[in-house]
Amino acid sequence: MSEGRNKDGGMSELYAEKLQELEKRARAILIEHQAGDSALVHSELNVADLGEVDFPRKAVESIRDSDLPRSERHELMTYLLGCWYKDNIGGTWTYVPMLVEQPALYLGFGIGIANASGTVLANVAETARGILEGADMDFEEARFNADVKVAKSSTDEARGASER
């Protein structure tokens, strides 16, 4: 058994701890950006549970168009998209492979979300970057909504198969 693994063969404790820290940080930063007169995340959004709200397009656009430094906008948008997606599919934070220029030599990872069965992955960091670079918001919203439907049905199918 490798040194970084739990006794049950699951993911390493360090990996799990990093993802738990990510969850706490994401929610804290979203709450922080709900305060003040120039709030980027609208106060009516319950950032503790975004599973019952439509795609947060207004907040995404507010973040995209804000005067924050690009890296802060990218981080905030990644957290918003990730929390919304995670809460809608009952998923978990994970690291998702990214396209790299030399895939034979390097493998890059971005922050993402996996559904409960681990069969659907969304790279929310890459999506946030695309939005900051001018991606079509109608397309991104439609894609996220479709991904939520697919992730939910994939999770439901996996749950049904395990109950048989």
pLDDT tens-digit readout, 37-51? 778 888 888 888 999
CB 127 within 8 A of CB 64: no
* pLDDT surpasses 80 at 70: yes
Q: Which of these, 60, 123, 113, 49, lies nearest to 87 by C-alpha position? A: 49
Exposure string for 55-69, b = 16+ CB within 10 A, e = fewer: bbeebbebbbeeebe
User: Which stretch of 5-19, 61-75, 93-107, 132-146 has the lowest confidence by average pLDDT?
Assistant: 5-19
Sign of CA dihedral 66, 68, 73, 75: negative
From CA 126, how far away is CA 124, in angstroms rounded? 5
CB 120 within 8 A of CB 81: no
Judged by DSSP in three states, 98 sits in strand
DSSP-derived secondary structure letter, 143 = H
From CA 43, how far away is CA 120, in angstroms rounded? 30
Q: Write out the two tokens for 99.
A: 């396209």
CB 116 within 8 A of CB 131: no
* pLDDT surpasses 50 at 1: no
From CA 59, how far away is CA 29, in angstroms rounded? 14
Half-sphere exposure of 61 (CA within 13 A, CB side): 9
Binned at pLDDT 50, 70 and 90, residue 110 comes out as confident
